Amino acid sequence: MTPPLHTLPITQIAPLIRSRAVASAALVEACLGEIERRGRELNAFTLVAAEAAREAAREADREIAAGRWRGPLHGVPVSIKDLIDQRGLPTTAASRVMAGHVASNDAPCVAALRGAGAVLIGKCNLHEFAYGPTSEDSCFGPPRNPHDPSRTPGGSSGGSAAAVAAGMCAASIGTDTGGSIRIPAAACGVVGLKPTIGELSCGGVIPLCRSLDHIGPLTRSVEDAWIVYRAMAGDPSPSPLDPPFQDGSKSSVRVGIPRRHLLERLDPGVRARFEEALGRLRAAGIVAEDVEIRHAPAAAAVYLHIVLPEASEYHARLLEARPEDYAPAVRLRLEMGRAILAEDYIRATRGRETLRREVDEALNGRDALVLPTLAIPAPPLGAPTVEVDGSSEPTRAALLRLTQIFNLSGSPAISIPCGQTQGLPCGLQIVGHRGRTKDLMALALACERALTPSSAPPPHPDSRRW
Amino acid sequence: MNLHQWLRSSFEDADRRGLSSLKPLLEGFFKGTEELRAADWGDDLAAELLRQATRAGQDLLKGSESRSPR
Task: Please give the pLDDT value at position B64.
Answer: 57
Asked if the model's pLDDT at residue A38 lies above 50, the reply is yes
Asked if B12 reaches chain A (Cβ–Cβ under 8 Å), the answer is no
pLDDT, greater one: A109 or A453: A109
- The reply to whether A248 falls in a domain is yes
Q: Which amino acid is at A427?
A: G
Look at B35 and A332 and tell me if their CB atoms are within 8 Å: no
- The reply to whether A249 falls in a domain is yes
Q: Which residue range(s) make up the domain with A381?
A: 7-299+340-455
Distance CA A415, CA A217 (A): 11
What is the phi/psi pair of residue A369, to 5°? -105, 145
Task: Please give the pLDDT value at position B22.
Answer: 95
- Chain B: give the shortest CA distance to residue A337, in Å: 10
Widest pairwise Cα distance in chain A: 63
Express each pLDDT in A368-404 by its tens digit.
999 999 999 999 999 999 999 899 999 999 999 999 9
**pTM beyond cutoff 0.90:** yes
> For the stretch A274-298, what's the b/e string if a residue is b when 16 or more beta carbons lie within 10 angstroms of its beta carbon?
beebbeebeebebebeebebbbbeb
| Helical (H) or strand (E) element with A426 | strand A424-431
**pLDDT band of A2, cuts 50, 70, 90:** confident
Asked if A316 reaches chain B (Cβ–Cβ under 8 Å), the answer is no
Q: Which residues of A touch B18 (CB under 8 A)?
A: none
Task: Please give the pLDDT value at position A375.
Answer: 98
**pLDDT band of A149, cuts 50, 70, 90:** very high
**pLDDT band of B70, cuts 50, 70, 90:** very low
**CATH number reported for the structural domain that contains residue A41 in this entry:** 3.90.1300.10
Task: Please give the pLDDT value at position A454.
Answer: 56
Look at A302 and B42 and tell me if their CB atoms are within 8 Å: no
- The reply to whether A429 falls in a domain is yes
C-alpha distances (whole Å) from A348 to each of A41, A197, A368, B29 are 41, 18, 25, 14
CA count, 13 A, side-chain hemisphere, A130: 32
Counting residues of chain A whose pLDDT is more than 70, the rounded percentage is: 96
Asked if B20 reaches chain A (Cβ–Cβ under 8 Å), the answer is no
Counting residues of chain A whose pLDDT is more than 90, the rounded percentage is: 94
Angle at A45 (CA atoms; ends A138, A140), nearest 5 degrees: 25
Q: Which residue of B lies nearest to A356 if distances are taken between CA atoms?
A: B41
Contact indicator for A122, A79 with CB cutoff of 8 Å: yes
Task: Please give the pLDDT value at position B45.
Answer: 60
C-alpha distances (whole Å) from A112 to each of A107, A229, A276 are 9, 10, 39
Average pLDDT estimate for A343-371: 97
Q: Which amino acid is at B29?
A: F
Distance CA B46, CA A121 (A): 55
Express each pLDDT in A183-202 by its tens digit.
999 999 999 999 999 999 99
Task: Please give the pLDDT value at position B68.
Answer: 47
Of A188, A182, A181, the closest CA to residue A148 belongs to A188
Contact indicator for A82, A125 with CB cutoff of 8 Å: yes
- The reply to whether A324 falls in a domain is no
Q: Can you say how many angstroms the Cα of residue A79 is from the centroid of all Cα atoms in its chain?
A: 13
Look at A301 and B33 and tell me if their CB atoms are within 8 Å: yes
The size of the A-B interface in CB pairs under 8 A is: 56
DSSP summary character for residue A241: P
Residue A137: CB partners within 8 Å, gap ≥ 6?
A94, A127, A128, A131, A327, A329, A330
- The reply to whether A269 falls in a domain is yes
**pLDDT band of A3, cuts 50, 70, 90:** confident
| Helical (H) or strand (E) element with B24 | helix B23-38
Distance CA A193, CA A297 (A): 24
Q: Which residues of B touch A302 (CB under 8 A)?
A: 36
Q: Number of structural domains, chain A?
A: 1
- Chain B: give the shortest CA distance to residue A361, in Å: 15
Average pLDDT estimate for A284-311: 97
Asked if the model's pLDDT at residue A465 lies above 60, the reply is no
Task: Please give the pLDDT value at position A5.
Answer: 93
Task: Please give the pLDDT value at position A455.
Answer: 47
Distance CA A54, CA A68 (A): 19
**pLDDT band of A248, cuts 50, 70, 90:** low
Rg (CA), chain A: 21
Look at A347 and B21 and tell me if their CB atoms are within 8 Å: no
| Helical (H) or strand (E) element with A321 | helix A299-321
Task: Please give the pLDDT value at position A271.
Answer: 98
Task: Please give the pLDDT value at position B49.
Answer: 63
ipTM: 0.85
Of A297, A333, A347, the CB nearest to B37: A347
Distance CA A349, CA A464 (A): 44
**pLDDT band of A299, cuts 50, 70, 90:** very high
Lowest mean pLDDT among A82-91, A221-230, B25-34: B25-34
- The reply to whether A15 falls in a domain is yes
Average pLDDT estimate for A51-65: 98
Average pLDDT estimate for A19-30: 98
- Name the 3-class secondary structure at B63: helix
Of A302, A311, A304, A403, the closest CA to residue A353 belongs to A302
Contact indicator for A305, A344 with CB cutoff of 8 Å: yes
Angle at A186 (CA atoms; ends A184, A191), nearest 5 degrees: 90
Asked if A302 reaches chain B (Cβ–Cβ under 8 Å), the answer is yes
A391-396 own/partner pairs: CB under 8 Å, 24+ apart: A391/A265, A393/A265, A395/A134, A396/A132, A396/A133, A396/A134
Strand-pair partners of A47: A123
Task: Please give the pLDDT value at position A456.
Answer: 45
Task: Please give the pLDDT value at position A461.
Answer: 37
Express each pLDDT in A320-348 by its tens digit.
999 999 999 999 999 999 999 999 999 99
Distance CA A329, CA A311 (A): 14
- The reply to whether A465 falls in a domain is no
Of A328, A336, A344, the CB nearest to B36: A344
Asked if B21 reaches chain A (Cβ–Cβ under 8 Å), the answer is yes
- The reply to whether A264 falls in a domain is yes
pLDDT averaged over every residue in chain B: 80
